[in-house]
Amino acid sequence: MIRETADAPAKRIVRPCIHCGEPTDSDTEQPAEEIFCCNGCRGAYELIHGWGLEGFYGLRDQLASGPASRVNAQASRYEVFDNAEFLGPSVPTEQADGLMRCELAVHGLHCAACAWLIENAAIRTPGWNVARVKMSDHTLQVIFDPTQTALSKIAGLLDRLGYELAPISKQRDQHFQNESRRHLIQIAIAGFFAANAMWIAVALYAGEAYGVAAEHRFFLRMIGTALGVAAVLLPGRTFFVGAIASMRNRVPHMDLPVALGLSVGTIVGTINAITGKGHLYFDSLAILVFLLLIGRWIQFHQQHRAAKAVDLLLRITPRHANRVDERNETSTVLVDALQIGDVIRVGGNESLPADGEVVQGESMIDRSLLTGESVPEGVQPGDRVLAGTINLQRVIDVRVEAIGDDSRIGKVMRSVEDATNQKTPIVQFADSVGGVFVVVVSLLAIASFLWWMPSGWSVAASHATSLLIVACPCALALATPLAIAVSLGRAAKHKVLIRDGNTLQQLARGGRIWFDKTGTLTSGRPDAELISGHWDAVQLAAVVEQECQHPVAEAIKRLASRSPKEIQIDSYELTAVHRNGVVGQVNQQAVLVGNLALMDQHHIMISDSTMEAIDRCTDESASPILIAVNGLIEAIVAISDPLRPHVASTIASLRHRGWKIGILSGDHPAIVQHVASRVGIDIDEAHGAMSPEEKLFTVQRDSESDEDSTTVMIGDGANDAAALAAADVGIAVRGGAEVSLQAAPVFIASGDIQDIDHLMQSARRTNWLIRTAFAVSLTYNLVAVGLAMMGRISPLIAAVLMPISSVSVLALTLAWPTYPSSLGNAGLWDKTTEGKTP
């Protein structure tokens, strides 16, 4: 294990920024309200308090949504927001009152507190009349007076608050909107019929108790029956459509007995209403249609959420680019307007909008979003770069070779959609049992009708109706969605978000789990440790690196903040940035910070002790960074990616439950195998240097090879998106690209990897709950059907008994402990390996 050579001083500690919560170096005596990670957060904090909106912080904390977005201290110029070509579909339109209206995408929203802050900021900004935040799709509607302010000023103001605006995509799911509106209209109509039918029923019941004139009774019976018939024929026709389709396709469906029961109830109830004899069912029919339609609308929304296609490419690549013309001047254009051969300019800490070849400049590229490689890669003229990766250091010019769907990230996104569309949905246990139940109940109802026909048509119809009512598949239909809904809700309380119930059914079977490494098993944030040399050299290196945005530079700066003493800095200069490191001067001393190749380039002598320290780093799968001062190696720093807490314990527990565990990573194979050995994964199951396509192939192969087990992929980057979608179950952990969350049905929002084990336990408990609920419901229905066929239950008693099975399933579900209450599995792991640096 690599350790520091000196203890950290007590006078400097790391505390959260008061605005965004970013870990920030500070003095122990510094008040908490003065801790800011950057000048941008300081400006946002002062602006919010200047408006008198400090209640934002209290509301945010009350909602437990996490910190605000970190503010960009050097916000880009927003003049492009006054350019119609840049805005595209978001270009403002003029209203009748002369005000301008537009809709923009807003990034950085967390909760209702963010919406509250933005909408109150509009009230306090002259010329900005209205701001309406839509949390469902993270959009902002802006209404402003162009004579008083410009859209660019509004965008700049929100940037100061930590929210970034961007043009919106107009690819709307119109079909979903129309279908949802149709469902809601049907529910509203059914609710109208049900409410009025219930009032009619109350009047009739009261009349039976206190007396009512015969003509009034007949009138109420006919009005109530008309309401019930209308409820069945208008909003309830959807069940008849499903039943007819079921019979045509010869596939039993829950709509079949529902439609049959509604038909018999309607016919018998109408005849009884006209003749004045027998029971009426109009109130029960109307209520049943109303409740079933509500359930269908909820199911429709769940299916839409599971299948909704999001514009993934827009989420992780820039919407615009800086195009360079023949005069070497830049203009901001939409990425869609780029042509092959155009030259674009990409600044430091910016994402590349297209694939291409570097034609000017040298920098470091973070490729982890695509490849999973944790160590940035140096680029120079002639090297190829990809859309979605991040330029970490200096400005580079890139000649465009591919954009949109033709880019590497576009092909990955297309494979995500293909994998999602090709994935065969699980036939749930409820479907198989429910299909048999539908056929059996329908046949028994016909048999009961024929059996009682000798006693008269009215008696036969009454008993058949009783059977269909008391054996209504509501409890069977309720068992699975109710158990899953309760399990999803309890998991959500532990910040484990599950998109659909099929996931729990899949995870209950067991099988194989593939982990990504960077950002999943490890933190994804490089850490630095001093293994040899002097703290003074580390501080000199931090001074040289202070203008660099490279992750290694950030790690060295954090390491320098723990130095036992501070040195006096009189002057410094960053003279060169290479792909292997940086060169600068501090207090008239030449300082080099980089790898062994950089030292060789500058003819720095490497001693045997230095090589031993380098070997110690590589043995621990860490990257050695050398610091040379005035031509001599003064310090060696190890850069590594530390393990997440509780990784070893979680993997041990998963293996104990029968899961096979492996790693699919784009990182170096030696690093991947070292991590595997530290967390208890077999070396043969740890695969490194894998491209997104190779991950996808491996997951698809495992998923197709064994249909009786479940293949799980756990990752957090866009390089994992295709594999997450192709797996039987994809699990995204916090800290990855948003594209992964759209491809995966499970999101571990807590960031605690132990919740993966808790999720597996919850899946098995939910599966047992569903089976138990089915057993209870079927037992009840068997007894009730038997009594109905024997003529022991009248339609009125059947209507009373019908909800009992649903109530029993509800009570059982609420009492069942579907999510583990404990937070660990003590004794299953070696605590000496927890959270240490690989």
CATH number of the CATH domain containing 631: 3.40.1110.10
Q: Are residues 131 and 201 in the same domain?
A: no
Contact 821, 493 (CB under 8 A): no
Q: Per the structure, how many domains does the chain have?
A: 5
First to last CA, the chain: 8
Q: Which residue would you say has higher pLDDT here, 755 or 280?
A: 755
Which residue type occupies 746? Answer: V
pLDDT band per the 50, 70, 90 thresholds, residue 363: confident
Q: Are residues 166 and 300 in the same domain?
A: no
At 77 the pLDDT is: 56
Tell me the mean pLDDT in the region 766-774.
83
Could you tell me the two tokens for 216?
A: 């009034």
Q: Are residues 636 and 648 in the same domain?
A: no
At 636 the pLDDT is: 93
Among the candidates 761, 788, 809, a domain finishes at: 761
At 580 the pLDDT is: 81
Q: Are residues 159 and 70 in the same domain?
A: yes
Q: Are residues 183 and 160 in the same domain?
A: no
Give the Cα separation of 489 and 470 in Å (integer).
30
State yes or no: pLDDT of 769 exceeds 80. Answer: yes
Q: How many CA atoms lie within 13 A of 550 on its CB side?
A: 27
Out of 53-62, 351-360, 382-391, 641-650, pick the least confident: 53-62
In a domain, 809, yes or no: no
Tell me the mean pLDDT in the region 357-370.
82
Among the candidates 640, 667, 699, a domain finishes at: 640
Portion of the chain with pLDDT greater than 70, in percent: 69
Q: Are strands 390-391 and 363-366 parallel, antiparallel or unpaired?
A: antiparallel
Among the candidates 761, 783, 811, a domain finishes at: 761
At 822 the pLDDT is: 40
Out of 255-269, 542-556, 574-588, 684-698, pick the least confident: 255-269
Rg of the Cα atoms in the chain: 33
Tell me the mean pLDDT in the region 373-393.
81
Q: Are residues 359 and 341 in the same domain?
A: yes
Q: Which residue would you say has higher pLDDT here, 542 or 421?
A: 542
State yes or no: pLDDT of 280 exceeds 90. Answer: no
State yes or no: pLDDT of 109 exceeds 80. Answer: no
Which residue type occupies 160? Answer: R
Tell me the mean pLDDT in the region 696-702.
89
Tell me the mean pLDDT in the region 395-424.
69
Distances (CA, A) of 463 to 286, 452, 458: 21, 8, 9
In a domain, 439, yes or no: no
pLDDT band per the 50, 70, 90 thresholds, residue 659: very high
Distances (CA, A) of 251 to 244, 377, 475: 10, 56, 20
In a domain, 13, yes or no: no
Q: Are residues 517 and 648 in the same domain?
A: yes
The residue among 602, 592, 548 whose CA lies nearest residue 364 is: 548
Q: How many CA atoms lie within 13 A of 72 on its CB side?
A: 17
Crossing angle for the helix pair 282-307 and 214-233, to the nearest 10 degrees: 20
Out of 269-283, 346-360, 412-426, 508-522, pick the least confident: 412-426
At 12 the pLDDT is: 57
Q: Which residue would you say has higher pLDDT here, 826 or 710?
A: 710
At 724 the pLDDT is: 84
Give the Cα separation of 288 and 802 in Å (integer).
11
Give the Cα separation of 220 and 208 in Å (integer).
12
Tell me the mean pLDDT in the region 762-784.
83
In a domain, 157, yes or no: yes
Q: Are residues 652 and 757 in the same domain?
A: yes
State yes or no: pLDDT of 132 exceeds 50. Answer: yes
Distances (CA, A) of 426 to 507, 728, 815: 12, 9, 27
Contact 99, 143 (CB under 8 A): yes
527: Cβ–Cβ under 8 A, 6 or more apart, which residues?
555, 558, 639, 640, 641, 642, 837
Tell me the mean pLDDT in the region 350-373.
80
Which residue type occupies 604? Answer: I
What's the whole-number average pLDDT of the chain?
Answer: 75
Instruction: Output the domain CATH number for residue 129.
Output: 3.30.70.100
Give the Cα separation of 762 and 239 in Å (integer).
34
At 281 the pLDDT is: 66
State yes or no: pLDDT of 344 exceeds 90. Answer: yes
Q: What is the largest CA-CA distance in the chain?
A: 113
Instruction: Output the domain CATH number for residue 513.
Output: 3.40.50.1000
Q: Are residues 516 and 648 in the same domain?
A: yes
In a domain, 822, yes or no: no
- Burial category of 138 from C-beta neighbours within 10 Å (exposed 0-12, middle 13-18, buried 19 and up): middle
In a domain, 574, yes or no: yes
In a domain, 626, yes or no: yes
The dihedral formed by the CA atoms of 745, 747, 748 and 750, expressed in degrees to the nearest 10? -150
At 87 the pLDDT is: 79
Q: Are residues 332 and 298 in the same domain?
A: no
Out of 5-9, 11-15, 481-485, 672-676, pick the least confident: 5-9
- The parent domain of residue 570 ranges over 527-640
Out of 50-59, 180-189, 614-623, 643-652, pick the least confident: 50-59
Q: Which residue would you say has higher pLDDT here, 457 or 700?
A: 700
Q: Are residues 183 and 289 in the same domain?
A: yes
679: Cβ–Cβ under 8 A, 6 or more apart, which residues?
521, 643, 647, 648, 651, 833
State yes or no: pLDDT of 144 exceeds 80. Answer: yes
Q: Are residues 570 and 614 in the same domain?
A: yes
H-helix or E-strand spanning residue 313? helix 312-316
Contact 767, 504 (CB under 8 A): yes
Instruction: Output the domain CATH number for residue 352.
Output: 2.70.150.10
User: Exposed e or buried b for every residue in 793-814, given b needs 16+ CB within 10 A?
Assistant: bbbbbbbebbeebbebbbebbe
In a domain, 94, yes or no: yes
Please write the tens of the pLDDT for every residue from 414-471: 655 554 444 433 334 555 565 677 678 778 888 888 888 888 776 777 787 778 767 7
